[in-house]
Amino acid sequence: MVESNSKRQLVIIGGAEDKDGDCIILRDFVRRAGGTKAYIVIITAATELPREVGENYIRVFQRLGAENVRIIDTETREDASSSTALEAINKASGIFFTGGNQARITSILKDTEIDLGIHKRFSEGIVIGGTSAGAAVMPDVMIVEGDSETHPRIETVEMGPGLGFLPGVVIDQHFSQRGRLGRLISALILQPAVLGFGIDENTAMVVTNNQVEVIGQGAVTIVDESEATYNNMGEILKDESLAICGAKLHILPHGFKFDLKTRQPILNNGSVANVSVPVDLVST
Amino acid sequence: MVESNSKRQLVIIGGAEDKDGDCIILRDFVRRAGGTKAYIVIITAATELPREVGENYIRVFQRLGAENVRIIDTETREDASSSTALEAINKASGIFFTGGNQARITSILKDTEIDLGIHKRFSEGIVIGGTSAGAAVMPDVMIVEGDSETHPRIETVEMGPGLGFLPGVVIDQHFSQRGRLGRLISALILQPAVLGFGIDENTAMVVTNNQVEVIGQGAVTIVDESEATYNNMGEILKDESLAICGAKLHILPHGFKFDLKTRQPILNNGSVANVSVPVDLVST
């Protein structure tokens, strides 16, 4: 079950978001962080090039007018308890996780002072953003790594603990661009989660409390396993292929919304897309 | 609606099928064509390298013991009315379409004497096989070309008439390997078809009358739009993104079956996967 949090604000980005043009996605993040009055902390734990990656985001956030932008560069778990870092977290109105390798984020940060501090600020309502590896860490159980462009197999994905800002779901990024349907389905079958989100590049799912809104260039592919009639997880050996029957599939581009509690898409006009329409009407 | 044909036999291959190892898929085709007594006609219309591609298949089919294997190389529509070609079609116990460019197959063959001849033999019960481009031409409306690794958009695919051996569906090939979910969904929304099949490489859907069986290394991804609650086809402009809500998704590996009439997967043990199982049971 997806946990409720009435102040939850997340901007979860599928990677490769626009940093030079309209910046629809990063603009939304900065606005949620307080606009020109924002105090943004960039967490570069995912990358081995923290300066390069971090300064790129400083440049964008400052161009969009954020007053204070600073990097927390944590190379080790010791760094992740530093008092200056904690002070910044406590002042932050928005915290942003860059891309890189999601396993670096959790191995350096998980359960450190900084992690606890970020969760405290999150529960107080400040926006948390993340792109690529920074998107992967959002659930409580994340895709650590896995193969793209393959059908579902157990061996396709390695799962591990995430940071848990959006528990009960599975998230994959660079979704259409890297052909990751098989990887998302594998993760979904391996986990007790029933909702899988595949986020395209330059696309984000913006979570406000229990509502997701899709923004950006691509789409968010949602696989709902809750009504699936069958999977063969209990019957196969490790190197065999996974099967799934009757999962529900939604593909939502910019402007569409999705309710995490009812697991129903919400159309552009605000109506809920849960009424079956006769086939002839749908497919013309 | 998928048309019924009580003698229908099709081996529809997602491309890159094994030709050197166990040859599970081509072996199945040869067996259906009569085994060692088979008379197999290879249609190379799709490729600009008919000799090279054709001789590769002659080699495999002969290695598997087929008695007679010959190529019909049609470069033009005139070739596609030659009496020697027609004679071969009439003797054939199996006809195989190679890969290449599906638009070449339809522009050279469609509605020619050979096309009519193949359809006559098909209705008499001989097996028709096709791989890659040769798989694409199976429906009555086919994907002519389109972008891979993108979310659904109208501009993603160009549709055109297929050869119509399996009307009422949409087929895409190299499915997982080229990240073609967006392309398949686009085709499905653009067409009155409600069933889309995405066939992986070295994988085939074998159609016998109204039953599909999956064989090979990968999986067949089936998107059933018949119960979809919404798509935005009627509301968007040409360069905007497509949305779909509530489509049904099945991913079936080797050994799984699917009923084209009831649109239900049939499990390995023969039972129909159409009963909803409580979430907890499914997802563990």
Structure-token pair, residue A229: 């009639």
Q: What residues in B contact A195, CB-CB < 8 Å? A: none
Within-domain flag for B3: no
Say how far apart CA B284 and CA B278 lie, in whole Å: 11
Within-domain flag for B1: no
The pLDDT tens digits of the residues spanning B103-123 come to: 999 999 999 999 999 999 999
- A237 — contact with chain B (CB < 8 Å)? no
Contact: B283, A181; criterion CB under 8 Å: no
The predicted model gives A93-101 an average pLDDT of: 98
What's the gap in Å between the CA of A221 and the closest CA on chain B?
9
Q: What residues in B contact A177, CB-CB < 8 Å? A: 149-150, 179
**Which residue in A has a C-alpha nearest to residue B219's C-alpha?**
A151
At B270, the pLDDT band (50, 70, 90 cuts) reads low
- Answer whether residue B7 shows pLDDT above 90: no
Mean pLDDT of chain B: 92
Please give the share of chain A, as a percent, with pLDDT higher than 70. Answer: 93
Within-domain flag for B281: no
Report the predicted TM-score, pTM, of the whole model to 2 decimal places.
Answer: 0.93
The predicted model gives B187-203 an average pLDDT of: 94
The predicted model gives A198-221 an average pLDDT of: 98
Contact: B273, A219; criterion CB under 8 Å: no
Do the beta carbons of residue A24 and residue A216 sit within 8 Å? yes
Contact: A179, B182; criterion CB under 8 Å: no
**Which residue in A has a C-alpha nearest to residue B239's C-alpha?**
A217
Q: Which of A179, A219, A249 sits opposite B176 (nearest CB)?
A: A179
Q: Domain count of chain B?
A: 1
Domain at B156, CATH number: 3.40.50.880
Cα angle vertex B16, ends B13, B21, to 5°? 100
Q: Which residue has the higher pLDDT, B164 or A1?
A: B164
Q: Which of B229, B237, B267 to mutate: most A Cβ within 10 Å?
A: B229
Q: Which of B180, B229, B232 sits opposite A276 (nearest CB)?
A: B229
Pairing type for strands A264-266 and B264-266 reads unpaired
The pLDDT tens digits of the residues spanning B242-265 come to: 999 999 999 999 999 999 999 999
Q: Which of A177, A239, A241 to mutate: most B Cβ within 10 Å?
A: A241
Within-domain flag for B279: no
What does the pLDDT read at residue B227? 86
- Answer whether residue A284 shows pLDDT above 70: no
Q: Is A10 exposed, middle or buried (0-12, 13-18, 19+ CB in 10 A)?
A: buried
- A90 — contact with chain B (CB < 8 Å)? no
Residues of B serving a catalytic function are: 132, 174, 201
Do the beta carbons of residue B152 and residue B173 sit within 8 Å? no
Q: What are phi and psi of B26, to 5 degrees?
A: -65, -30
A3 is catalytic: no
What's the gap in Å between the CA of A101 and the closest CA on chain B?
22
Within-domain flag for B130: yes
The predicted model gives A129-149 an average pLDDT of: 97
Question: What type of residue sits at position B101?
Answer: N
At B280, the pLDDT band (50, 70, 90 cuts) reads very low
- Answer whether residue B279 shows pLDDT above 60: no
Contact: B194, A250; criterion CB under 8 Å: no
Mark which residues 157-176 of A lie under 8 Å from B by CB.
176
Contact: B283, A189; criterion CB under 8 Å: yes
Within-domain flag for B84: yes
Contact: B192, A284; criterion CB under 8 Å: yes
Q: Which of A179, A267, A268 sits opposite B179 (nearest CB)?
A: A179
Contact: A231, B268; criterion CB under 8 Å: no
- Answer whether residue A278 shows pLDDT above 50: no
Q: Which alpha helices (H) appear in chain A, and where do they start and end?
A: 24-32, 50-63, 83-91, 102-109, 113-123, 133-136, 181-190, 279-282
Within-domain flag for B280: no
Cα angle vertex B182, ends B177, B186, to 5°? 130
How does DSSP classify residue A45? T
The pLDDT tens digits of the residues spanning A251-270 come to: 999 999 999 999 999 986 66
Contact: B282, A179; criterion CB under 8 Å: no
Please give the share of chain B, as a percent, with pLDDT higher than 70. Answer: 93
At B267, the pLDDT band (50, 70, 90 cuts) reads confident
What's the gap in Å between the CA of B111 and the closest CA on chain A?
27
The pLDDT tens digits of the residues spanning B35-76 come to: 999 999 999 999 999 999 999 999 999 999 999 999 999 989
- Answer whether residue A3 shows pLDDT above 70: no
Within-domain flag for B187: yes
Q: Which domain holds residue B147?
A: 9-272
- A194 — contact with chain B (CB < 8 Å)? yes
A132 is catalytic: yes
